[in-house]
Structure 1
Amino acid sequence: MSFLLSLSRFIDSLNEKIGHGISWALLLAVLICTGNAVVRYVFNMSSNGWLEIQWYLFAAIFLLATSYTLRRNEHVRIDVIVSHFSKRTQVWIDLIGFIVFLMPATLLILYYGAPYAWISIQNQEVSSNAGGLIVWPVKLLIPVGFVLLALQGISEIIKRIGYLKGLVPASAFEKQAATPEEEIAAIKAANQIN
């Protein structure tokens, strides 16, 4: 089990780094979107390439941050119902959900998404829009994103089993979001520095 827990920590670390890195794509997308709007309305010019890069950045954010979201336990769930159960029961519900729903769906999308991306790479697919971009890099994000999600799913399964065996504390997979009080304290601290 120690090897599996080490593997889980490695996967968590990988997805944390990717999640933090891809957060810059959001800033870039906002800047490009703003620039596009200004150029379009002030100079009456537009570019399909700049519009498509916004879509590509959104795809990257969505596909590459999904595993980060799962890692931080901030995915969509039914906390209203599950919160009434004991921690052990909640862990069993998570474990069943990961094994029965997450992993099969992820592997199914990988099964169809990898050939879809591979065909695009082989054909060096380019957008059909005038001035559009190459398409295969964004299609490659599909299998990459779902490989990361599958790995994070494996990590979450390992942590839940470790918890049930008494080897992992619940803090290893509980929500990582700050409480409102912690967020206010962080904002105050940041304002004092500036």
Structure 2
Amino acid sequence: MPSWTKSYIRFVDGLNRRIGRFAMYGIFALVGVLLWSSISKTFFDPSLWTLEIAQFLMVAYYIIGGPYSIQLGSNVRMDLFYGNWSDRKKACYDAVTVLMLIFFLGVLLYGGLSSMAYSFGYFGKEPIGFLFGLVIGTEELGHLERSPTAWRPYLWPIKLVMCIGFFMMLLQVSSELIKDIAKIRGEEI
């Protein structure tokens, strides 16, 4: 394998390892919010924000921690046949399924970017161009989307977290694809 692929794998794996290890502690924030929700409903006036914050934290925990889970190989698999295969056969199977996952994640990322553009007040047909225009300063924000609940938080932060998570997952599965190709070729990475 070329040296740039090894550098890419080290960079992506290191980035997702650090972010994943940090995201693991998000469960404590989720527990804290749910604990406060229980206490406030029992002893005080119920808090309006706790359910939605708990949902947002769970989405962030799941999506940001996903690439680290893929890296560790702790994702769910059907081991009925897979567990008995050789490492090379597993790598061949994983390489094919990772290609399908890359397509699926690409669709999710495009949908997430479209939804995020909508949450920034864009209703046209070119959401990627709009988001790029926001970054470089040629576009302006429209009416920001809010949740239809009583608390009414802005939705763009969680949509941004989802897009970042989908992108990180794409990076991680491309790293896994390179590792699988190396195993198929009998090379060490």
Q: Distance in 2 between matches of 1:83 and 1:36?
A: 43
Where in structure 2 are the equivalents of 1:120-159 lying within 5 Å? 120-122=119-121, 123-159=143-179
Q: Distance in 1 between matches of 2:151 and 2:105?
A: 34
Residue of 140, 150, 164 corresponding to 2:184: 164
Change in Cα spacing, 1:121 to 1:21, as seen in structure 2 (3 Å) is farther
Q: Secondary structure at the match of 1:39?
A: helix
Where in structure 2 are the equivalents of 1:34-53 lying within 5 Å? 34-43=35-44, 45-53=45-53
Which residue in 1 is equivalent to 2:137?
none
Which residue in 1 is equivalent to 2:94?
94
1:47/1:131 contact within 8 Å kept: no
How far off its partner does 1:166 sit?
2.8
Where in structure 2 are the equivalents of 1:101-120 lying within 5 Å? 101-120=100-119
TM norm structure 2:
0.83
How far off its partner does 1:23 sit?
1.3
Unaligned 5+ runs, structure 1:
170-194
Q: Deviations over 1:80-111 (max 9, x none)?
A: 21112211111111111101x21110011112
Q: Which amino acid is the alignment partner of residue 138 of structure 1?
A: I
Task: Return structure 1 stretches of 4+ with deviation > 4 angstroms.
Answer: none
Q: Distance in 2 between matches of 1:105 and 1:160?
A: 19
Tell me if 1:79 matches 2:79. yes
How far off its partner does 1:71 sit?
0.8
Which residue in 1 is equivalent to 2:57?
57
Q: Which amino acid is the alignment partner of residue 185 of structure 2?
A: K
Q: Distance in 2 between matches of 1:154 and 1:15?
A: 13
Q: Distance in 2 between matches of 1:35 and 1:71?
A: 33
Which residue in 1 is equivalent to 2:8?
7
Q: Distance in 1 between matches of 2:171 and 2:15?
A: 10
1:36/1:46 contact within 8 Å kept: yes
Q: Which amino acid is the alignment partner of residue 150 of structure 1?
A: L
Q: Distance in 1 between matches of 2:62 and 2:83?
A: 27
Range 135-144 or range 159-168, more displaced: 159-168
Q: Distance in 2 between matches of 1:82 and 1:23?
A: 28
Q: Distance in 2 between matches of 1:80 and 1:138?
A: 37
Which residue in 2 is equivalent to 1:70?
70
How far off its partner does 1:165 sit?
2.6
1:40/1:46 contact within 8 Å kept: yes
Q: Distance in 1 between matches of 2:105 and 2:160?
A: 15
2:40/2:47 contact within 8 Å kept: no
Unaligned 5+ runs, structure 2:
122-142
Q: Deviations over 1:23-65 (max 9, x none)?
A: 121101101101110110122x112222211111001011111
Q: Secondary structure at the match of 2:152?
A: coil
Structure 1 or 2: larger helix share? 1
